Amino acid sequence: MPEMTYRDAIAEALREGMRADPNVFLMGEDIGAYGGSYVVTKGFLDEFGENRVRDTPIAESGIVGAAVGAAMAGMRPVVEMMTINFSLLAIDQIVNHAAKLLYMSGGQIPVPCVVRMVTGGGSQLGAQHSQNLEAWYARVPGLLVATPSTPYDAMGLMREALRERNPVMFIEHSLLYRRKGEVPAGWFTVPMGKAAVTREGKDVTIAGYLRTAMLAEEAADRLEREGIDAEVVDLRTLRPLDLDTIVASVQKTNRLVVVEDAWRTGGFSSEICQLVSEQAWDDLDAPPTRVNGADVPAPYARNLEALAYPVVEDIVAAVRATLPGARADYARL
């Protein structure tokens, strides 16, 4: 099976969509001649031209507003927000318009647009450019929130997003763009709302998405050397959330650790822990545990930034804390 980077998987899915459907077009800041801030749209302007690859002014509300209008008129815009932090300037267009028009029109006005956004820190971009805000959008009825962690999922979810009638917040992590993985040469899609069990285990369930799904697998490898058999669930999408897969895993392992880069207070990890407590309380042998980013604005200094986001050691310690007699290890974090 051929390998592909996360970046190239997204680009290839976008090319396929544009070649197959003339209504698909791209818009965003520096996506044309510059090729995108993360080089995903490099070469698109030469292939598809200015009408379908539109460089826009630095005006996020206007960009998303124009995309919503185009989608209402039958087009399929794909917006690049450059970073999820900048989407705050377009949150009215996303939450009050894109998310609600299909419902408010009684199903008559779909808004089939995709909003690509880069989330997370780790690149020394400072507090205003390193936030994880995907859980905010996952709370909004009418939006779909895709969070792929592998090239396979990135391609499959983008293909699916380009066929949706609802707006899709397609969340990418900057530290994953160079990640390589196997991607089948044939056609496939990844459905919204279907998590993946990427590693089978019997002692504890570790759930994550985007970068933390990768960290969860690394932690499981380390735990295996200690005789702890961890099962890893990659959420893939936050809305819809595949709670059935998470609960089924917990019913097998009887323990849950949820990992995300976002702040602990009000994090999506809290939502998952509560839902599992409601639906699988009798199956739990320990309280569901969260591993989150620190409740601080992201530091710029590299050494401090490294302390603000979860690492493998944090996950390993949290897993040990769910096992009998080991909670003191996690309490010292």
Active site residues: 60, 129
Q: How big is the chain by its Cα radius of gyration, in Å?
A: 20
Tell me how far apart the alpha carbons of residues 27 and 121 are, in angstroms, rounded to a whole number: 24
Q: Report the candidate in 321, 315, 317, 84 with the shortest Cα–Cα distance to residue 212.
A: 315
Place of tokens 């970073």: 83
Sheet holding 144-146, edge to edge: 53-55, 24-28, 76-80, 114-119, 168-173, 144-146, 237-239
DSSP state of 85: G
Which are the contacts of 148, defined by CB distance < 8 A and separation ≥ 6?
Answer: 6, 154, 156, 157, 158, 172, 190, 210, 236
Cα torsion 267, 122, 210, 86: sign: positive
Tell me how far apart the alpha carbons of residues 288 and 266 are, in angstroms, rounded to a whole number: 15
Cα torsion 112, 57, 157, 3: sign: positive
